[in-house]
Every structure is written in C-alpha cells, then in structure tokens.
C-alpha cells in the first residue's frame, strides 16, 4: 500500500508490473537506512503478490537513481557501531527476491546506488546516466557488492581501475562493458523498462523464477554443478500446466496464455 512508504512511490503501471520509485529527491535518493528498509519491504511485498510478475526499480526524477549510501548518516558512525549492527548487511535482502528485478537508471548511480543497481537482474540506463564507485574518495571501499559484482560484470582489470580511481562512467561505457543491457532516451526509459517487465510478467511465474534461480546458482558453483542444477529445474518444469500450454500453443499456432501453474 503506497501510504505506508515515506521514501518510495509504489505503483502498478501495467498489469503484472510493480514499479518502485526511490523518492528522496532532495538528497538525490541517497540510500539511508529508512529507504533501504522500505525497498526491502516493498520488494518482499511484490514477491508475495500473486498479481505481480516483475519489479522495476527506478529513481523518481531523472537526476538520480541513487547518489550512494547516505554519507551524512555514515559520517559519525564508528567501527563498533557498524560492526555490531552489521551495517548494510540488509542491503543484500534485495538479492533474495525471486521475481525478476529490473533497474531503470536515469542520472546518478554512484557508490551504493551503483551497487543497488547491480543487485537487480537486469540494468537499463537512460542515455544521460552516470555510474561510478567513488567510495575511495571518501576513505572507504564499496561495501554493498561493488568489489564483488563489478569485477564479475565488467572484468577484473576494468573494475579495479574504476574502484581505485573512483571515476564516473557513462551509460555508453556501461553498455559496452556489459553492465547495462540497453540504453534508452532518458525520458522514455521507465516506460520502455515497464514494457519489458510486462512481457516477462506475461510468461507466468514458474519458468521465469526458475530461469533467474538457475542463472544465479550458476554464478556460485562450478559449470558441472550449474548444468546439473539447470537440468533439474528444466525437468521440474515438465510438471507444470504452463509447459503444456506453451508447447501446445506453439503446435496450435496460437499465443500461449500462462497461468503460473
């Protein structure tokens, strides 16, 4: 329910699509604890909601997806406090969402903003998007996956250069390196990503969830184990009504109607 969120705007722009807009525009959507908690609540709610098939995460204005973790909130935090509360551990909750999460990045995706985008399953960028991991300039390092996910996505050498210099990079670079799936004109970005999300939502939840799960599992294990995992999920899908419907529709030369069953 939208009213429960202070820093988010949550809507259903098309059937099956949960749009979650970060809405702390005065701080360029800096990610404080309250905002992260709300993202976790809203994505978990969308994950449970049977009418939702895909989630789109974006900023509420074209200036910023998110300009990073909230520096003002971190400035006076001590090691003892950070360690005892396990500061930012809950950021990873987003990676436990089983439905696809699509990030639509307009404007700044810096530091924790870039890391949040990398927790999504697919990143799309507006043509004026600016990415970066500038933490080195604050005397720290990326703490929410930047040193882990960026090398996997763009390669170790490139990621090391970006993280050690803190330099920003453009949507065009991000796309060239494989961090971003596609670039759209900034003003069309959210509509275009919602269209992709709607298409994915139309495939019914089971195969979509299994595909996401198999991809992510494969990134954690050896190729052999990953292939076995994939095959088990593939076999499992032969028990679904969606498999019967999808293959029957093909043979009957009609559009399939998936039910997520």
Positions marked catalytic:
69, 112, 115, 135
By the rule CB under 6 A, 119 interacts with ligand HXC: no
Stretch that binds ligand HXC, among 48-56, 140-148, 173-181, 229-237 (CB under 6 A): 140-148
**Residue 44 in 3-state DSSP?**
helix
Selected from 34, 41, 45, 138, the binder of ligand HXC by CB under 6 A is 138
**Residue 5 in 3-state DSSP?**
coil
Min CB(166)–ligand HXC separation in Å: 8
**Residue 207 in 3-state DSSP?**
helix
By the rule CB under 6 A, 112 interacts with ligand HXC: yes
The Cα 116–Cα 129 span in angstroms is 15
Q: Which is nearer to ligand HXC, 18 or 29 (CB)?
A: 29
**Residue 125 in 3-state DSSP?**
strand
By the rule CB under 6 A, 110 interacts with ligand HXC: yes
By the rule CB under 6 A, 143 interacts with ligand HXC: yes
By the rule CB under 6 A, 134 interacts with ligand HXC: yes
Stretch that binds ligand HXC, among 12-20, 105-113, 185-193, 249-257 (CB under 6 A): 105-113
Q: Which is nearer to ligand HXC, 91 or 258 (CB)?
A: 91
Pairing of strands 8-11, 101-105: unpaired
Helix (H) or strand (E) holding 229: helix 223-237
Selected from 16, 100, 126, 142, the binder of ligand HXC by CB under 6 A is 142
What track of x and - describes contact with ligand HXC for positions 17 through 46 (by CB under 6 A)?
Answer: ----------xx-x----------------
Contact 118, 216 (CB under 8 A): no
CA within 13 Å, CB half, 180: 25
The residue behind tokens 């609540």 is 41
Min CB(235)–ligand HXC separation in Å: 39
**Residue 89 in 3-state DSSP?**
helix
By the rule CB under 6 A, 68 interacts with ligand HXC: yes
Contact 237, 206 (CB under 8 A): yes
DSSP letter for 97, please: -
Nearest Cα residue to 122 out of 27, 208, 244, 228: 208
By CB under 6 A, how many residues form the interface with ligand HXC? 20
Residue 165: φ, ψ to 5°: -95, -20
Q: Which is nearer to ligand HXC, 55 or 116 (CB)?
A: 116
Min CB(245)–ligand HXC separation in Å: 43
Min CB(133)–ligand HXC separation in Å: 8
Token representation of residue 231: 């095959």
Residues that bind ligand HXC (CB under 6 A): 27-28, 30, 67-72, 88, 108, 110-112, 134-135, 138, 142-144
């Amino acid at each position: 329910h939208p009213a429960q969120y202070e820093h988010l705007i949550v809507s259903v722009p098309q059937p099956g699509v949960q749009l979650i807009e970060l809405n702390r525009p005065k701080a360029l959507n800096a990610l404080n604890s309250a905002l992260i908690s709300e993202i976790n609540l809203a994505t978990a709610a969308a994950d449970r909601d049977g009418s939702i098939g895909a989630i789109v995460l974006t900023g509420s204005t074209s200036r910023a997806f998110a300009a990073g973790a909230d520096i003002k909130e971190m400035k006076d935090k001590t090691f003892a406090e950070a360690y005892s509360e396990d500061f930012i551990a809950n950021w990873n909750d987003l990676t436990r969402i089983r439905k696809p999460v699509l990030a639509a990045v307009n404007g700044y995706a810096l530091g924790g903003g870039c890391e949040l985008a990398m927790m999504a399953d697919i990143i799309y960028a507006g043509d004026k998007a600016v990415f970066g991991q500038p933490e080195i300039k604050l005397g720290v390092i990326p703490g929410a996956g930047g040193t882990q996910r960026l090398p996997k996505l763009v390669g170790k050498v490139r990621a090391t250069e970006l993280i050690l210099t803190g330099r920003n990079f453009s949507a065009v670079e991000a796309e060239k390196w494989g961090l971003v799936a596609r670039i759209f004109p900034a003003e069309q970005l959210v509509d275009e990503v919602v269209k992709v999300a709607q298409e994915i939502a139309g495939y019914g939840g089971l195969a979509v969830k299994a595909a996401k799960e198999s991809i992510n599992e494969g990134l954690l294990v050896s190729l052999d184990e990953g292939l076995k995992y994939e095959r088990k999920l593939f076999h499992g899908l032969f028990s679904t009504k969606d498999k019967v419907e999808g293959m029957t529709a093909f043979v009957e030369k009609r559009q399939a109607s998936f039910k997520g069953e």
